[in-house]
């Protein structure tokens, strides 16, 4: 990744809060990521590039709340996909493309792609983190496209966790999950599912992280996203327990 795409090229996406963009040539993707994509997309050879799109901070949520998308099913995905499609029609007219995320039937290696873009570093609380946005960013679309856009340079922020001495995210976890790597997922889920759990609709470890607090999601946005994940966890637990 050697050439940077001008910010104006992505300005229609940024206007709607989709302010993270990375263009990667499929021919240069790492072997493991390439292998996953080949399994998920039978005709991968039709495309030359992959575009990874995300949001950092509060802007996308503010756009969503001011639009009709807020009342639709899957409002975040709907806004993201429609915005990306409109942008592609203007930026890459006539180019064949396929949006492979969000797509319920496909497992896309988002974290690996985020790492290649330089956005994603592992944190003790298992949410991707970087110096610019902290953990307050997310992946919103992955596009395969037959285009010749300039490839973007990987971000070189490095992990902010390396210089964090106190690591308040570990002590802030009331379930002790962040301190127990082997049982982390089980401890976290069990605690979130407890009656009146303070972690039901938020992550106290994430909130305790001091990195990029100025970009922290609003209370409403946090409540929405963790409410969605809590619903998914409840359904998974019911199926696991045979209810």
Residue 84, CA distances (Å) to 18, 28, 51, 108 in order: 9, 24, 10, 17
The reply to whether 121 falls in a domain is yes
27, 75: one domain? yes
Token pair in block for residue 198 = 């303070």
Compute φ and ψ for 241, nearest 5 degrees. Answer: -85, -5
16-61 pLDDT, tens digit per residue, is: 999 999 999 999 997 899 999 999 998 999 999 999 999 999 999 9
One domain, residues 117 and 198: no
Q: What is the rounded average pLDDT of the residues 143-147? A: 97
Residue 17 domain flag: yes
Tally of domains within the chain: 2
Q: Note the pLDDT of residue 238.
A: 87
Q: Please tell me whether residue 78 adopts helix, strand or coil conformation.
A: helix
Q: Please indicate, yes or no, whether residues 39 and 120 belong to a single structural domain of this protein.
A: yes
Per-residue tokens: 231: 């619903």
- 213, 222, 63, 55 alpha-carbon torsion, rounded to 10°: 60
Band (pLDDT 50/70/90 cuts) for residue 9 is confident
The last residue of a domain, from among 145, 175, 195: 145
The reply to whether 89 and 121 lie within a common domain is yes
Q: Which domain holds residue 173?
A: 164-241
Tell me the C-alpha distance between 176 and 185, whole Å.
11
Count of beta carbons in the 10 Å neighbourhood of residue 162: 7
Flag whether 154 is in a domain: no
Same domain, 137 and 189: no
- Closest by CA position to 211, among listed 105, 125, 145: 125
**pLDDT at res. 159:** 96
Question: Does residue 2 fall inside a structural domain?
Answer: no
Q: Say whether both 102 and 182 belong to one domain.
A: no
Q: What angle do CA 116, 148, 28 make, to 5 degrees?
A: 35
pLDDT at 88 over 50: yes
10 Å CB burial of residue 180 (0-12, 13-18, 19+) is middle
Instruction: For the full predicted model, state whether its pTM sits above 0.85.
Output: yes
pLDDT at 116 over 90: yes
């Amino acid at each position: 990744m050697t050439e940077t795409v001008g910010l104006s090229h992505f300005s229609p996406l940024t206007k709607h809060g989709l302010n993270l963009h990375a263009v990667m040539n499929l021919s240069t993707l790492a072997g493991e990521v390439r292998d996953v994509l080949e399994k998920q997309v039978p005709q991968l050879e039709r495309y030359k590039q992959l575009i990874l799109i995300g949001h950092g901070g509060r802007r996308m949520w503010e756009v969503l709340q001011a639009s009709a998308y807020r009342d639709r099913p899957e409002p975040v995905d709907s806004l993201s996909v429609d915005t990306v499609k409109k942008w592609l029609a203007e930026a890459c007219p006539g180019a064949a493309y396929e949006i492979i995320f969000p797509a319920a039937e496909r497992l896309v290696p988002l974290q690996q792609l985020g790492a290649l873009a330089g956005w994603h570093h592992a944190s003790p609380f298992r949410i991707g983190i970087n110096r610019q946005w902290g953990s307050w960013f997310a992946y919103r679309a992955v596009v395969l496209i037959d285009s010749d856009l300039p490839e973007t340079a990987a971000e070189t922020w490095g992990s902010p966790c390396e210089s964090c001495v106190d690591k308040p995210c570990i002590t802030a976890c009331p379930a002790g999950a962040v301190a127990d790597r082997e049982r982390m997922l089980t401890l976290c889920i069990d605690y979130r599912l407890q009656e009146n759990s303070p972690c039901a609709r938020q992550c106290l470890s994430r909130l305790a992280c001091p990195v990029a607090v100025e970009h922290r999601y609003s209370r409403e946005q946090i409540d929405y996203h963790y409410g969605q994940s809590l619903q998914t966890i409840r359904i998974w637990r019911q199926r696991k327990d045979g209810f």
